[in-house]
Amino acid sequence: MNARRLRSALLAGSLAVLSLCAAQAQTAYRWIGQDGQVNYSDQPPPPGARDPSQAPLGSPNLVDTSGASYSEKRAARIFPVTLYTGSDCIAECKLARDYLKRRGVPYREQQVKSVADAAALRQATGSKELLVPTIVVGKSAHQGFEEGAWNQLLGAAGYPLRGPAAK
């Protein structure tokens, strides 16, 4: 009698595990019905359905966290970062680039090569002096590389601290 109960319990457990595996391997179907409505189902679409497609249902409870956070995307959209550099700016401009990369800030680099580039830098900073590297965050600017000042400027725009710069 005990052996029979044990077999029944093992069989029930095996069936439960198999049903969970089968549930993970389900497929979702999508199609547009004759009335123009979009339909979703675990059953295949009827014949004559428009734009039928199917996708396996994986783990629906997973959240993709590999990309930039909401606050990073928002800061980049509202306060884009431009780094102005020059051909004669070697060490300090490298420090500035490395800092932005280490902090994970998306930026556009603009080399000041022409009169038009110089005019754009003057307009962005509101200064007649041309000093590189210069960072422009939205409409705010800072001339020269000073990590503390750049931290404050980027933090005010909503760029989070991360990596070694977060110390």
Whose structure tokens read 């002096």? 129
Among 29-38, 47-56, 75-84, 140-149, the minimum mean pLDDT is found in 47-56
pLDDT at 157 over 50: yes
Distance in angstroms (rounded) separating the CA atoms of residues 42 and 56:
10
Q: What is the mean pLDDT of residues 31-42?
A: 84
Q: Which domains does the chain have, with CATH numbers?
A: 28-57 (no CATH), 70-166 (3.40.30.10)
Burial of 14 (0-12, 13-18, 19+ CB in 10 A): exposed
Annotate the chain with DSSP letters as a single string: -HHHHHHHHHHHHHHHHHHHHHHHT-EEEEEE-TTS-EEEESSPPPTT-EEEEEEE---TT----SS--HHHHHHHHHS-EEEEE-TT--HHHHHHHHHHHHHT--EEEEE--SHHHHHHHHHHHT-S---SSEEEETTEEEES--HHHHHHHHHHHTPPP-GGGG-
Q: For residue 69, what pLDDT is reported?
A: 82
Structure pTM? 0.60
* Confidence bin at 8 (pLDDT 50/70/90): confident
pLDDT at 165 over 50: no
